[in-house]
Amino acid sequence: MSLTKSQHNIFENLNFIDLAAQQQSIKENLERAVLKVLEHGNYIMGPEVQELENELASFVGCKHAISCANGTDALHLVLRAKGIGPGDMVFVPSFTFAASAEAVKLVGATPCFVDVSEDTFNMDPNSLKQAINIAREHKLNPKAIMAVDMFGCPADYDAINKIAAENDLWLLSDSAQGFGSEYNNQKSGMHALATTTSFFPAKPLGCYGDGGCIFTDDDELAEILQSLRVHGKGSDKYDNIRIGLNSRLDTLQAAILLEKLKVFPQELKHRQQVADTYSKNLLDFVKTPLVQKNYKSAWAQYTIVLPKGLDRVKIMAELKQVGIPSMVYYIKPLHLQTAYSKEPRVTDSLSITENLADRVVSLPMDGYLNLEVAQAISEKLVDIINDNK
């Protein structure tokens, strides 16, 4: 199959995630914001941190936004604040980034791996129900559920909250990929007792380094989190009242995020258009991500499932050859990774998770990807799939 010159050119310099396009479009504002911090010199907990927290809380519609050093600490801090520790079990999907289960291990508790739904990549409520029975077999106390908004799409919060209530568990939402998403017309941050997010550069709302945030309406939890992120401080700075972490968001990152938050809503709209372009063209050839009516994804990733029997390595190589980058998230589910292979799981093998890990491919996605390029990527992928059948 030969390429015409114009087909080739359209993918020139195509990035998997183009962070430079965003920077270019708001460059002056970013520079002004960074310079302002250099001038006032309050590098730790400067005024921009509080300002950002106010803006984030109002964006989400929640009472408290507590910023911290990264999305992993955000999970860790919530588990610590809720007193989760040895002997406790937390239910975590296996099809996620390592940080979800890592946070559970960091507080000394045990994760129990749950399978996901094939259509949404998110925690399967039926698998969760089954897993809660497993906890009793392990003589551990089932305490909490960690739902993950995989690839930016909210988990099935109605079903999961119902199971949580029936089993006296509380819900933590790992929305590292889902900031800006919506479920039942409410933003991520409103569906659980506490929701965490990450500002890692490649996330939907990313800074220029590490950053994270916790959202909650619970006043008491918010107060403990504010203490924990600064070494467990009390009202007297030199009398720490609990063992905490050093997990503050840098003032510089807060200043950068304030500028990025201004363009975030329009970026989310653009991500949706990119996803629509992909889905419209790919629907008949691969399994496209399902986002149901009452859901809005933040489209951290646009992830397809290749038909059974197709050689993923070969397809990705052929995409790469014409200049289209693609990635596999996640090639190795957590329950199969060395550090987590001995942790309990709902069934010996998590068949949906393992099947997805073998067949998923994520395509270029960001808030600036040209829609004509998205169209051309779709067409090229269809050609490649047809050639590989």
The binding site for ligand PLP (CB under 6 A) comprises 70-72, 96-97, 99-100, 148, 174, 176-177, 198, 200, 210, 212
Whole-number minimum distance, CB 74 to ligand PLP, in Å?
7
Give the nearer residue to ligand PLP in terms of CB position, either 72 or 277. 72
Distance of closest approach, residue 127 Cβ to ligand PLP, in angstroms? 18
- Those residues with Cβ within 8 angstroms of residue 165's Cβ, 6 or more apart along the chain or in another chain: none
**Least Cβ distance, residue 204 to ligand PLP (angstroms):** 10
Least distance from C-beta 103 to ligand PLP, angstroms?
A: 8
Residue 221 CB, nearest approach to ligand PLP (Å): 19
Comparing CB distances to ligand PLP, the nearer of 207 and 222 is: 207
Residue closer to ligand PLP, measured from CB, 97 or 170: 97
- Nearest residue to ligand PLP by CB is 71
- Residue (71 or 333) nearer to ligand PLP, CB: 71
Tell me, letter by letter, the H, E, C secondary structure of 258-285. HHHHHHHHHHHHHHHHHHHHHHHHHCCC
- Closer to ligand PLP by CB, 22 or 173: give it: 173
Q: How far is the CB of 177 from ligand PLP (least distance, A)?
A: 5
Q: 203 or 345: whose CB is closer to ligand PLP? A: 203
For residues 190 and 207, give the distance between their C-alpha atoms in angstroms, rounded to a whole number: 22
What minimum distance in Å lies between the beta carbon of 203 and ligand PLP? 6
Which CB sits closer to ligand PLP, 127 or 177?
177
